[in-house]
Amino acid sequence: MSKLKLSVMISGRGSNLQALIDACADPAFPAEIILVLSNRPGAQGLDRAAKAGIATQVIDHKDFADRATFDREMTAAMEAVGTELVCLAGFMRLLSDEFVDHWRDKMINIHPSLLPSFKGLDVQERVLALGARFAGCTVHYVRKEMDTGPIIVQAVVPVLSDDTPDALAARVLEREHEIYPLAVRLIAEGRVTIDEKDRAIIDGAAPSNTSIVNPSGIAG
């Protein structure tokens, strides 16, 4: 059976890219990365890809007069190598409606919150400022509005009483590295469908029925 062909779009260090590289190194994993695309020439993730023998390409957004033209160039690059699924992994540019429509249900993103809560940037700072008891991360299909789209996988991370934004973000990132390859596997195995309400339905999923309370262990 042929493997699902991935292109990964990055702007920075590429830690989630590395999680996907590590997953794809397993011969049994049903996907392969065929291109890593960056809008920043010095992105550390490009080095990660090169070390893994993966083709890379830089398309610098500064070289284009407008976002739509830049996005079309990225689409052309990914289509030229036969991309079947686009994975956004710390790609720090807003995408045009045209680009999102072109890759509808063929592009996924990872966000460091339990969407639909805490969209946007500075997530963990806002989590702590509002006194939320749980943080987490979400892999979802991409839609035109930022950080929206059918949710594929989520992971919950309890907030600790002495958490700082950096400490919480580090624990959330560990879970990101687990759920991004899982989401790709589910898609590659054909187990994800989008229903009429634009929700991702996972075939054969067995959600946990265990509830989590935070804080816990408090005597009555």
**Per-residue confidence (pLDDT) for residue 204, from 0 to 100:** 87
Which ranges of the chain have pLDDT less than 70?
207, 209, 217-220
**Per-residue confidence (pLDDT) for residue 210, from 0 to 100:** 75
pLDDT digits (tens, 9 = 90+) for 54-71: 999 999 999 999 999 999
Residue ranges per domain, the chain? 1-103, 109-204
Domain 1-103 matches domain 109-204 at the CATH topology level = yes
Q: Span 1-103: which CATH code?
A: 3.40.50.170
pLDDT digits (tens, 9 = 90+) for 188-217: 999 999 999 999 999 987 767 677 888 876
Q: Helix/strand/coil (H, E, C) string of the chain? A: CCCEEEEEEECCCCHHHHHHHHHHCCCCCCEEEEEEEECCCCCHHHHHHHHCCCCEEECCHHHCCCHHHHHHHHHHHHHHCCCCEEEECCCCCCCCHHHHHHCCCCEEEEECCCCCCCCCCCHHHHHHHCCCCEEEEEEEECCCCCCCCCEEEEEEEECCCCCCHHHHHHHHHHHHHHHHHHHHHHHHCCCEEECCCCCEEECCCCCCCCCCCCCCCCCC
CATH 3.40.50.170 is right for the domain spanning 109-204: yes
Which amino acids are annotated catalytic? 111
Q: Tell if the pTM clears 0.85, that is, is over it.
A: yes
